[in-house]
Structure 1
Amino acid sequence: MKVLITGGAGFIGSTVAAACLDEGIDVVVLDNLSAGRAEFVEGRTWYRGDIADGELIDRIFAEHPDIHATVGCAAKIVVPESVARPLHYYTENVTKGLALLGHLVRNGCERFLFSSSAAIYEPGQGITESSPLRPTSPYARTKAHFENVLEDVAAGTPLRAVSLRYFNPIGCDPEFRSGLQVRRPTHALGVMIDAFHEGRPFPVTGTDWETRDGSGIRDYVHVHDLARAHVAALRRFDAITSRDAGGTPYRPVNLGTGHGTTVFELIRAFKSVTGKPLPVEVAGRRPGDNAGAYPDIALARELLDWEPVLSVERGIADSLAWHARRDLVLAADADG
């Protein structure tokens, strides 16, 4: 099997590519390096360019007519940037995504595996694929809009699609071939690691949420487990999206640990990994915050025969190890 991975030089896409190669699936990468890193595609077949470039897509399929499926990991993903630049996000994530689908259909590529996001859901616990949607940022709304596009296109063309809606990825490639490339991440574990190394207290914003210990809850899933799920979806794609016997050509599937981790639990796990205390600073809720969310992953178990196997502690340890190695892997200008 050979697959095209758009955005395959980014954090998620490069880890998916590595997992595919480890499992005997050939990969062709398309990335314009607007956020991805050339270091992450070293030694792999890759094309530098835009997903909306029809001539380039045609060339890729002419040179690789045996491409079995496309994995769509190319997207802009920074929530604050999406608020400041909504036109840019809709252009990159929706308009160019539409162009890509047209190029794929024209080239006879009828399988599309989409890297989506749990940010499209209304916050809650035990979220299923049929839970209410309430995207609250331009970024999240671009993901929700594109899923609507996929459902409609799959209903009216030969294209079939699976959307993997995943929660908060942590960790890195187990062999340190790639990891989070940004120097100042804004997610909880990234902020925690920076605070730890800089000797600053880690801020806990809100301790009166309706969770098991009052702190916010998120679902932290190891990026390698996510990559394994992509491999499983590729191998089971035809069975998942069969139009026979009343099947559906479009399937959303949740990916996560299925139980979530509160902020205080994440702090305790961090301390258990480092063996050192982590000072914290308790503050009130911030505007726009919510209690958080975690998914029900029963459908992933059923359709993909997939379970996460790497713990939050392993994700923390790998994130810390990648932080120490990052500047050895990436050029000095790495800033995300």
Structure 2
Amino acid sequence: MKILITGGAGFIGSTIASACLDEGIEVVILDDLSTGRPEFVAGRHLYSGDIADGPLIDTIFTEHPDIHAAIGCAARIVVPESVAEPLYYYTENVSKGLALVGHLLRNGCERFLFSSSAAIYEAGQGITEEAPLKPLSPYARTKAHFENALEDIAAGTDLRVVSLRYFNPIGCDPDLRSGLQVRQPTHALGVMIDAFHAGRAFPVTGTDWETRDGSGIRDYVHVHDLARAHLSAVRRIDTITSSDAPYRAINLGSGTGTTVFELIKAFENVTGKPLATERADRRPGDNAGAYPDISLARELLDWEPALTVEQGIADSLAWYARRDVVLSEAAAAHEEGLPRP
């Protein structure tokens, strides 16, 4: 089997690619390398370019006519940036995504796995795939709009689509081949790791939420578990979709969520050291948090997370220690901001 992965030089896409290769599945990578890393695709079939570039995609299929399916991981994902530059986000995540789908169909590729986001849901706990959508940022709305378009396209063409919805990936490739490439992450675990190494207190924003311990709850899933789920979905796409139901959305996650206090405790268990913390007021726009119900993933993908939050923390710390070795200084310019393609 051979799979095309757009955005395959990024954190999640490269981990999926590594998992494919580990199981004998050949991968072809399409990435513009604006945020993806060349180090993550060394030795792999790489086409550097834009997902909306029709002639380039035609070339890929001419040179790899045996591509079985495409996995879409290419997207802009920074929420504050999406608020500041919504037109850019709609162009990159929706307009170019639609162009990609057209190029795939023209080349006879009728299986598409979309790496989506559970940020499209209204906040809540135990969210099912039938829950109402309430994306709260331009980024999340681009994911929701593209999913809606995929469902309509699948209904009117031969395209089969599975959208995988998940919140916060943590950890790294088990063999440290790739990991989170940004040096100043804004998600809770990344901030926690930076605070730990800098000797700063980690802020707990809000301790009176309606959760099991009063702190906000979030969902974390190891990126290698996400990769396993993508592989399962690719293998099963012809059985979990049909001519009558060509589009399917499936949640991925822990199924229980992790509160901030639980994350702190897990972090301390991994490091063997206390983590300095400080309590702070709720921030504007904060909510109690969310995590999805993963019953459908268990049923359709035979999948549930195998790696714990503690393992994700341990792997994130291991990647932190090795990151600058893997990310060569010569390629670091990509992270600091190459011109947009």
Q: CA deviation at 1:23?
A: 1.2
Aligned to 1:32: 32
Aligned to 1:120: 120
Aligned to 2:248: 251
For the residues of structure 1 that align with 2:279 and 2:8, how far apart are their CA atoms?
A: 38
User: Counterpart of 2:4 in 1: which secondary structure?
Assistant: strand
Q: For each residue in 1:16-58, what CA deviation from the matched residue of structure 2 results, as whole angstroms up to 9, or x when unmatched?
A: 0001111111100000001100000001111000000000000
Q: Normalization by structure 2: what TM-score?
A: 0.97
Q: For each residue in 1:169-193, what CA deviation from the matched residue of structure 2 results, as whole angstroms up to 9, or x when unmatched?
A: 0000000000000000000000000
1:322 is matched by which residue type in structure 2?
A: W
Aligned to 1:92: 92
Root-mean-square deviation over aligned CA pairs: 0.7
Q: CA deviation at 1:235?
A: 0.8
Q: CA deviation at 1:4?
A: 0.2
Q: CA deviation at 1:299?
A: 0.2
Aligned to 1:329: 326
For the residues of structure 2 that align with 1:220 and 1:187, how far apart are their CA atoms?
A: 11
Task: Tell me, yes or no, if structure 1 residue 265 matches structure 2 residue 262.
Answer: yes
Q: For each residue in 1:272-318, what CA deviation from the matched residue of structure 2 results, as whole angstroms up to 9, or x when unmatched?
A: 00001101010010000000001110000000001100000000000
Structure 1 residues 1-336: aligned runs within 5 Å: 1-243=1-243, 247-332=244-329, 333=332, 335=335
For the residues of structure 2 that align with 1:183 and 1:22, how far apart are their CA atoms?
A: 27
**Consecutive unaligned residues in structure 2, runs of 5 or more:** 337-341
User: Counterpart of 1:35 in 2: which secondary structure?
Assistant: coil
For the residues of structure 1 that align with 2:123 and 2:300, how far apart are their CA atoms?
A: 24
For the residues of structure 2 that align with 1:238 and 1:121, how far apart are their CA atoms?
A: 26
For the residues of structure 2 that align with 1:275 and 1:87, how far apart are their CA atoms?
A: 46
Identical columns (%): 80
For the residues of structure 1 that align with 2:289 and 2:153, how far apart are their CA atoms?
A: 32
Q: CA deviation at 1:221?
A: 0.3
Runs of 4+ in 1 over 6 A off after TM superposition: none
For the residues of structure 2 that align with 1:48 and 1:142, how far apart are their CA atoms?
A: 24
Q: For each residue in 1:236-256, what CA deviation from the matched residue of structure 2 results, as whole angstroms up to 9, or x when unmatched?
A: 11001122xxx4100000000
For the residues of structure 2 that align with 1:307 and 1:214, how far apart are their CA atoms?
A: 27
Aligned to 2:339: none
User: Counterpart of 2:29 in 1: which secondary structure?
Assistant: strand
2:277 is matched by which residue type in structure 1?
A: V
For the residues of structure 2 that align with 1:140 and 1:5, how far apart are their CA atoms?
A: 21
2:282 is matched by which residue type in structure 1?
A: R
For the residues of structure 2 that align with 1:149 and 1:101, how far apart are their CA atoms?
A: 10
